[in-house]
């Protein structure tokens, strides 16, 4: 089991490592540029090239059923779910088959509304409650994977 993090602009890098260390599995931080990351024996830096979506392509191509992916990127979440991974947003919201379709539709709608000048702004600021929800969702995901029958360690 691994956690793969879409590390660019991820506000929960430290929290991921705390959970990974508690359970003894690797945290792969994937980015297309160098960044300051938590240090530890379970930290894996994955530096990809600077092509558009190269980090997303690496994550989607390397995740599987026993992995957890942390991302705010809805299309990446859909690709990782298709590969069998558990996917959690940075605010603690798990991406499910049902929620991804709605999230993609809302993303498309908001893109159109912004293009027409009908909508402004972005997401709400990241809060302490988001961080707490994320930690709880990540621990829940880890426990669910560990309880799967026939799971290979």
Q: Where are the domains of the chain?
A: 2-95+127-146
For the chain, residues with pLDDT lower than 70 are: 102-114, 119-123, 151-153
pLDDT at 122: 61
pLDDT at 9: 86
pLDDT at 134: 97
pLDDT at 100: 75
pLDDT at 111: 65
* Cβ neighbours of residue 13 closer than 8 Å, sequence gap 6 or more: 5, 7, 29, 37, 38
* Cβ neighbours of residue 46 closer than 8 Å, sequence gap 6 or more: 28, 29, 30, 31, 55, 58
Nearest to 53 by CA among 10, 99, 8: 8
Considering the entire predicted model, what is its pTM?
0.87
Domain 2-95+127-146 fold: Rossmann fold (3.40.50)
């Amino acid at each position: 089991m691994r956690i793969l993090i879409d590390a660019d602009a991820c506000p929960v890098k430290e929290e991921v490592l705390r959970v990974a260390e508690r359970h003894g599995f690797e945290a792969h931080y994937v980015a297309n540029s160098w960044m300051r990351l938590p240090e530890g024996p379970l930290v894996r830096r994955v530096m990809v090239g600077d092509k558009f979506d190269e980090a997303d392509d690496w994550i989607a191509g390397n995740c599987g059923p026993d992995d957890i992916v942390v991302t705010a990127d809805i299309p990446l979440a859909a690709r990782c779910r298709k590969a069998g991974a558990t996917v959690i947003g940075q605010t603690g919201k798990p991406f499910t088959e049902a929620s991804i379709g709605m999230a993609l539709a809302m993303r498309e709608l908001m893109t159109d509304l912004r293009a027409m000048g009908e909508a402004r702004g972005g997401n709400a600021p990241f809060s302490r409650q988001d961080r707490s929800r994320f930690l709880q969702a990540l621990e829940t995901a880890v426990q669910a994977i560990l309880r799967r029958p026939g799971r290979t360690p």
